[in-house]
A and B are shown apart, each in its own frame.
Chain A
């Protein structure tokens, strides 16, 4: 586990923590962007180039901007009257701690099943990804395309003004 990994992991976790803890919603969204960037760099460090660039392009370039637009349109940037944590925050924390314990235990248990010699890092070219997408993964590709179309149409319809709603 190299220095680079710890640095990137620290940045990402810090981004994640600030994203859920800050009072100002827009600051949270920007911290989320930092977390996304840290994750993209982690992907690149794990030799998953395509996933890393796709993460930057999609998440930082689109999802972060979506979140920010939504915050602006719903006036979330004003400080709320009742405080930022919901009434049931204790239960939420307990559940999250339990999930973390469970997941951590599962990960540590599975570490003993890893092969002891990790081979050379796989050099994944985009050509291989293209071949895989068209060959082995063509069904998920088509389904995801259909899903994206449905999501696009659905999001537009959900967020559209209803007729007669315009005063």
Chain B
């Protein structure tokens, strides 16, 4: 199920125009990976080591930080190009 969610997120990230929807897809992918971590931790032979849960909690924190920076970038990009369409951002210069 985590694989399905990951694929949906990837499809979303690759096919939508709006930059924010790309970020939404990325968040979905991160969440799917978290789910995988927790599920495999729960059924693992050594659940008392808390490895999976710790990894997932750190992943949540990192994802939040990355969402913040990413959205800041999108906002700045919008100020520069006056659009959030990723198809129209096809040059590196100015």
Contacts and interface: CB of A to CB of B under 8 A. Distances in A.
A165 to B, nearest CB: 8
Chain A's interface size range is 35 or more
Contacts of B64: 58-59, 62-63
Contact of A144 (B8, B25, B62, B84): B62
Main secondary structure of the interface of B (DSSP, over half): helix
Interface in A134-159: 137, 140, 144, 147-148, 151-152, 154-156, 158-159
The A contact surface, by secondary structure, is: helix
Residue of A32, A114, A115 ringed by the most chain B CB atoms within 10 A? A32
Contacts of B76: 158-159
Interface of B: 1-18, 20-21, 23-25, 27-28, 31, 34-35, 38-39, 41-43, 45, 47-48, 50, 52-54, 56-58, 60-69, 71-76, 78-79, 84-87
Given A20-B8, A93-B15, A156-B72, 15 more contacts: A13-B5, A13-B8, A19-B28, A20-B21, A28-B21, A35-B31, A42-B38, A63-B27, A63-B64, A70-B23, A73-B75, A89-B14, A119-B47, A122-B47, A158-B73
